[in-house]
Amino acid sequence: MWLANRIFPSVRRLQARLAALEAERNGSSSTPRAIAPQHTDVTRLDLGCGDKKRADCYGVDFRPRPGVDCVLNIASEPWPFADNSIEYIFSNHAFEHLPHPGPGFGHVLTEIFRVCKHNAQIEIWTPYGPSRDAFILGHTIMFNERIWQDCCFQGDRVWLGDRYGYFLWEETEYCLRPGIVDELKPNGIDLDFALSHMFDICYEWRVQLRVKKDSPQAPGPQTPRRLFSYARGEIAKQI
């Protein structure tokens, strides 16, 4: 594990650098262009809102639809919001569609960090990686715990570079398959074990992050609260 933690971040840094060089050579660098912020009164964003924008948020999507306030490719274009201006970001089943492989997810993370205030809250819903829902055609990233551990503390410098701060993983909500707990009990299988080692226990999940800009990097491992429900917000169990 020690060797893997030393080698894999270095490999990812090299891959990111090679991708950037290739993009520059092809004239398609993903480095954000310097532009003046255009939406200075916005403090809450719904990323990839489609036509179901959250009512209290400013809707951002890559194509014009009813309710979309800003047409923007969040994976490649610079975001038209000022540094340290956003206090809340919501995203509902958009991150699994970010282009991959490529710099798309990394670009989104660094732009989120740039525009967010210290202690801004981020709420991201995606299909749960070890589930059938994650493998629907059109999904490019199967999000699981390991990805967010890497972004928040195990490889935070790979994603954020020399930016002062980090993402704090505060909470996770797992939406379980209906009836799955009753199916596990007769077989003596604990829910925590099933979630860690079995497939299709959970179909979607929420990751809640906090943007921290009071420390140069993540101070160490993070253990988010874990909530379990059969429907969003209807919490049945907390660990």
CA atoms of 54 and 208, how far apart (whole Å): 16
Ramachandran area for residue 119 (φ above 0: left; ψ -120 to 50: alpha; else beta): left
pLDDT of residue 233: 84
Condensed to tens digits (0 to 9), the pLDDT of residues 198-234 reads: 999 999 999 999 999 999 999 999 999 999 999 998 8
Ramachandran area for residue 9 (φ above 0: left; ψ -120 to 50: alpha; else beta): alpha
Residue ranges of E strands in 57-183: 58-61, 70-71, 86-92, 116-127, 166-176
Residue 22: pLDDT band (50, 70, 90) is very low
Please, is 177 exposed, middle or buried when counting C-beta atoms within 10 Å of its C-beta (0-12, 13-18, 19+)?
middle
The CATH number of domain 48-238, selected from 1.10.10, 3.30.70, 3.40.50, 1.10.3210: 3.40.50
Q: Is the pTM of this model over 0.85?
A: no
Condensed to tens digits (0 to 9), the pLDDT of residues 115-131 reads: 999 999 999 999 999 99
- Residue 209 has which token pair? 């992050």
